[in-house]
Structure 1
Amino acid sequence: MDTISLFLLLLLAALGWFWFDSLRALEIARNMGKNICNNENLQFLDDTVANIGLVLARDKTGRRVLRRTYRFLFSETGNTRLEGQLVLLGDKVESVTMEPYQIMS
């Protein structure tokens, strides 16, 4: 096997890992967004999240991991569409921010 074939094989393996890791992170973010909305008695709109950012960062142990930022929409009454952001550091939730909303009694 020559070096070009080996390089292409390693590149293909890296792309496969990135794709599967991205799918796993997307599912984690979607479930977390849904759980946050359920806990706050909010509607999780469209049942989805959208990836809006990707950077290389270090976790608490110093390992390099991907920091992914996802956007999701929610509503407190069903008449509004408010935005929230969820940041994953590796496969752990680092932060959640949401637009201000009216708390319904």
Structure 2
Amino acid sequence: MSIDANIVVAVLVAGLIWFWHASMSAREQANRAARETCGRLQLVMLDGTVSIMRLWPRRDHDGRLRLERSYGFEYTDDGYRRLRGFVITLGATVTSVGLAPTPGADDRNGNGDIAPPRRGD
């Protein structure tokens, strides 16, 4: 392997490490947001974690290119029904958390069972 090939491999490995670290940071923020939302609304988050559903490049409010990640999670409001929620992050910042509408349930947070977007930590 030539020196140029070694540099390319090193850059690729560094990029993969950066991507993995950024993904773990965003996932941790999404987990925290899902747990806090479920706790605030007296719901039980099932399986204890979020799972990635979508990864897409998107610009933030400053015009910088970031990765937008959509995570899904399941929760229950009565111990029997499994409902789906989602968390969207832009970079490592949570931009919104949403919960499934529950037919016949009271409006727990005054917003159609959709939690309001979080503004940074």
Pairwise same-fold verdict (TM > 0.5) = yes
Extract unaligned runs of 5+ from structure 1: none
**Which amino acid counterpart does residue 2 of structure 1 have in structure 2?**
I
| Structure 1 pair 104–80 and aligned structure 2 pair: CA distance change class (3 A) | farther
Aligned to 2:55: 54
| Structure 1 pair 104–41 and aligned structure 2 pair: CA distance change class (3 A) | farther
Percent of pairs identical after alignment?
33
Alpha-carbon distance in structure 2 between the residues aligned to 1:4 and 1:63: 30
TM-score when normalising by structure 2: 0.81
- Judging by fraction of residues, say which structure has more strand: 1
> How far is the alpha carbon of 1:3 from its aligned partner?
1.1
Determine if contact 2:75/2:84 at 8 Å carries over to the other structure.
yes
Matched, 1:75 2:79: no
Query: What is the aligned residue count?
Result: 105
Extract unaligned runs of 5+ from structure 2: 109-121
Aligned to 1:90: 91
Determine if contact 2:27/2:50 at 8 Å carries over to the other structure.
yes
Aligned to 1:15: 16
Secondary structure at the aligned position of 2:49 is classed as strand
